[in-house]
Amino acid sequence: MHSHVAAIIALVLPVAAAAQVPDSLPDGVTPQMIQEGTQLFVGAGICMACHGMDAKGAPNLGPDLTDDEWLHGDGSFEAIVGQILEGVPLDQSKSGQIMPPKGGSGLTDDQVRAVAAYVWSLRFNSDS
């Protein structure tokens, strides 16, 4: 199992490393956080299970995180952090899909912030 995750990370990280970091990052966000968030997104965070390896979403699961449309919140870094921490219960879901808190993973709060930094950065690195 770990070799599969390592292989996936090896495929994704060169793309993420080549991506440009925005000139202005939210308070407390560093390029290192974005890099860590990339690894967590495809690894321990299990985000890619619903949002896809490229974060462009999966039908009837998770929405595209690379476009400018935010189903919940305004797309700010802090809104993304809150969304990951709280999840999306069915009665609040605009897509009809739930997201458990932390996506059902065991991420720490610092790791959630790293994933949020990566997700926040996607709008600057997407071809959408």
Q: Residue 92's domain is classified under what CATH number? A: 1.10.760.10
Predicted local confidence at residue 126, as pLDDT: 56
Residue 54 to residue 46: CA distance in whole angstroms: 13
Query: Distances from the Cα of 23 to the Cαs of 20, 74, 121, in angstroms?
Result: 9, 20, 11
Domain that holds residue 121: 2-21+30-125
- 20-50: per-residue pLDDT in tens? 455 689 999 999 999 999 999 999 999 999 9
Residue 69 to residue 49: CA distance in whole angstroms: 20
> pLDDT grade, residue 102 (50/70/90)?
very high
What's the predicted TM-score (pTM) here?
0.80
Question: Is residue 16 scored above 70 in pLDDT?
Answer: no
Beta bridge partners of 88: 99
Q: How far is CA 71 from the centre of its chain?
A: 14
Q: By CB neighbour count within 10 A (0-12 exposed, 13-18 middle, 19+ buried), where does 41 fall?
A: buried
- 76-98: per-residue pLDDT in tens? 999 999 999 999 999 998 888 99
Q: Count CA atoms closer than 13 A to 53's CA, side-chain side.
A: 9
Query: How many distinct structural domains can be found in the chain?
Result: 1
